[in-house]
Structure 1
Amino acid sequence: MADDATGREVPTRRDYVKYGGGVIGGTLLAGCAGQGDGGESSPTATETPTDEATPTETPEDTSYSVTMSPVGEVTFEEVPSNVMAYSPQYADMLVALGHDDSLNSLGFLSYAETLTYFFDHLDGVSFDAEGLTELFSNGSFDKEILYELDSDVHLMDPAWLSAFDNWSKADTEEVVENVGPFFANRYSREHTQPPEGWRDGYRYYTIWEITEKVSQVFREPERFAALQEEYEKLYATIRSNLPPRSERPSVGLVAFYEGEFYPYKISGPGFGKAHTRPMGARDAFADSDRTYDENYGASYDYEGMLEVDPDVILHNFAVTPFYDWDEVKATVSEDPVGSELTAVRNDRFYASGQSFQGPLQNLLQLEMTAKQLYPEQFGEWPRFEEGDTYPDFPEEEQLFDHQRVADVINGDR
């Protein structure tokens, strides 16, 4: 046992995990020696025990390593069974890989409602947030929580964690040394720049590349491969059935807040747009003289929105608990100017998905968005009301095999 700077007795690194090769630096070997699965042989009837036991066999090395930017190489001695995750895409991955029972926390427990919305219609698949710890508190991140959770692995990008006001790189190194490693990549969501000290060699991944690496951590390559196969078939179905560019709608991806519309790029980089970018639609704001970016770089009042007047309006994050969709839609539809919007008049103002998507949400949000933008090609998307779950489409209306995905999650491959 080792003491930290506060005099508290803390455990040394776990005996099944070691950290090396990343920007955190060095190879940190976990735990104490001699606590593996192998052991010493018992004396036979013809042997005389002595005070000093003599091992007759060497325990088999069952360790395995997974590498991802920015954490570098992480070596595990066994599959993690107590897992911290901050962002909901990692909870999504754990559900997809059949390891959601290992989850001990989320950044915001309210995101459980979003996961429930997407997963409940899949046969035998659900998400249970009971007993999970909420990690975010008053704009800060409490290191003590990580000691209390005592996680085998932290599915949180340490580069992003270092952006919290009360956190330093030394804190990260302390947690890696005394609790367990970090394993995540956050800035691939928008391809934004990580904080100073983490930029050298930072790599961006697709959500499926990140999922593959997480599947390696949990030793689930077959589950991942089966899910990726469904994704590839879905992607090919959508891309091969898109109408000619001249017939595609103009789309405004927005968030509505206090009378203003805040736009997002529908084809921006990163896995946050993995459900809109493949649609090849025309961005209604692309030719606007107002500057905008991924995160509310500009806003439009009703008159400004009417000047842009998209054929389809997708409300970002509307299926999450952060917006009351019924109230948003009623407010816009009942406004004298808002009611003149083409998308509102044609009932094409939709509650859309969200950017914190793991593999399962990506599959479902691709299907959702294809139906919202191209109903003639992919079928109608039903109205959404608060309390709804993802539609249980008949098999002939599904753009991918929902039962097959449920079977993969449930281990019935």
Structure 2
Amino acid sequence: MLDQSPQNRTDRCLPFLLAGGRGSRLHELTDRQCKPAINFGSGSGRIVDFILEATVQAGFQQLFVATQYRPYDLCQHLRAQWGHHFPKGISVRDGEQVSPRGYRGTAEAIRLNTTSLDAYAPREIMVLSGDHVADIDLAALLEHHRSHGAAATVAATAVPLADASSFGVFSADAEGRVTAFREKPADPDAIEGDPEHALASTGIYVFDWIWLREMLAAEALRPETQHDFGHDILPRALADGELSVCRITSATPGAEAYWRDVGTLGSYRRTMLDIANSRAALKLPRGMERPLIEAVDCFTEGSVFLPGSSAGQRCNLRNVIVAPGARLPNGFEAGHDATEDRRWFRCGEDGTVLITPEMLARRKAHLAAHTGRPAVRPSMQMPPRGEIGGTKANHVGEVAKA
């Protein structure tokens, strides 16, 4: 009888985690650390923990990680929180150490580590993205790849058609074979029978290693290459009839798969609100706690407090991200006057306001130098003490814990 344990099912497939991106649309949140390492929720949670949890749950025994932009915090987190969950170890290769130019694209991160990867003698390489919030069954993805016989498999999910221009978008037949693929199209195609959604790449792939190694070597010789999976490798797989699509499933029995791109301040904030309010039915990774969205004696609407932040009494916040270390004074207000917010804070296109300690310090220094102005804007009318949005609040004693 065959051993169908998780370890046996993932044997000879090497997970390769891409974790080198800055996430420039998150602005000051990634000034000191890469996007996968920024806080998510409360406790010790980071964005990268979602895909790491999925990797452990699938039964993988080892992990290969490619880093580049400000990797220190990420590497510390990997060692402290996840090292003992991978019995065969975590190997980290930083782009600036591998090549003077660093990794110029997602595909080059693998090509420049070909010799190291060959030492594992893998049958497949599973390429993972460290900067998405996801609940995905990676063992099922691998089984799909092996059963369909294509050299390349892409994990895909339905996204609102209005947002699909930010992703690679597929058209596929009933068997999962791709009929068309376009990277970040201006006019994305809707899913057949579902005009409100498009089928988008999650940035998670499974490749037959021998096939991928040959494609990467050939692609490196092409002058116009972008060294990117979406722009270069996937179109070649499609042209060769070697591309399959797998709709993601949840690693939690009976639950729906969940995947969100949190690459903007607005999507980052809204995803944490979904989880805090239980609108997203996904199990949090180990070490992560639900995001904190309330503070004692404050009125908060659509706002989140990251670990290490705090708020004084009777603050009034709407659509605000309070960054680690930010301490809001008594009577502080943000999110109600866009013109005033833009003077001091980072404002996203959807009205999300990011507040960092440095921004608060600049604001405080400016207001202190102009004694004719109050240090705190006159507060809007507050709801009765202990109520939020007309309902009793379940306040926490501390806004956030480090």
Could you state the TM-score of these two structures normalised by the residue count of structure 1?
A: 0.29
Structure having the higher strand fraction is 2
